[in-house]
Amino acid sequence: MKIQHIAIAVTAINLSLMVVLLTKINPATAQKEQDKLQVLRGTGLEIMDKQGKIRASINFHDAVVQDGVTYPAGVLLRLITSKGQPSVKIEASEDGGGLAFSNESQGYIQLMAKESGGFLKIKDPNGKEMVLKP
């Protein structure tokens, strides 16, 4: 009989603790916490298609010295065809930005705005280039 009274008391305590804890949970607060977590942070992002091929990427790249020329750090967005060819590139760095549209067999168009000056370059399928500068 004594054990039965103890079991009933422990059950009553557990039920009252459960009720108190359940009333403390606030769904609105939980939603606010989730809203804060909607930002992705990193140095790059890649979007893949169903076949696992990268179709878009946005990456941060460090400054690079190549052939004695220093290329500043920046961010590059690439939109890529199913064949793996970047068709659209948008770049932003400390010395300006650029935009390029390309087709592997049909040439490309580049629009650049750099500290050293801006230009528009067009290349046709035959390899002929035309550069427009102000």
Across all residues in the chain, what is the average pLDDT?
84
**Minimal CA–CA distance to 107: which of 83, 86, 129, 125?**
125
Q: Is the pLDDT of residue 21 over 70?
A: yes
Residues 6 or more apart in contact with residue 132 via CB below 8 angstroms: 119, 120, 121, 122
pLDDT tens-digit readout, 37-52: 667 778 889 999 999 9
Q: Is the pLDDT of residue 116 over 60?
A: yes
Mean pLDDT of 17-34: 67
Q: What is the pLDDT of residue 103?
A: 86
Q: Is the pLDDT of residue 69 over 80?
A: yes
**Degrees (nearest 5) of the Cα angle 56, 59, 61?**
145
